[in-house]
């Protein structure tokens, strides 16, 4: 861990400003939110955006261009 959540938040904010539908960025942002104690409702919103972006990209790209393990990781974030 780099223990620099303020800088990480700035980086995620900037990255999502550049490409708000990038599934990998959204998933990593949800992981960051989980690790920094953000409320579950905010994490759920980020994960909803992730699933929507992942699904849209999966339907328009060659399946090999998306890493299916992202879905597994996202599923672990919503586990009770």
- Count of domains for the chain: 1
Rg of the Cα atoms in the chain = 13
Could you count the other beta carbons within 10 Å of the beta carbon of residue 76?
A: 10
Convert the pLDDT of each residue in 63-75 to its tens digit: 556 677 888 899 9
Range of the domain at 25: 5-77
9 pLDDT tier (thresholds 50, 70, 90): very high
Convert the pLDDT of each residue in 16-51 to its tens digit: 999 999 999 999 999 999 999 999 999 999 999 999
């Amino acid at each position: 861990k780099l223990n620099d959540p303020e800088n990480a938040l700035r980086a995620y904010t900037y990255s999502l400003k550049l490409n708000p539908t990038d599934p990998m960025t959204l998933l990593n942002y949800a992981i960051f939110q989980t690790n920094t104690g953000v409320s579950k409702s905010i994490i759920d919103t980020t994960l909803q955006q992730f699933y929507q972006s992942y699904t849209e990209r999966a339907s328009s790209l060659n399946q090999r261009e998306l890493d299916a393990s992202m879905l597994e990781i996202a599923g672990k974030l919503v586990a009770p």
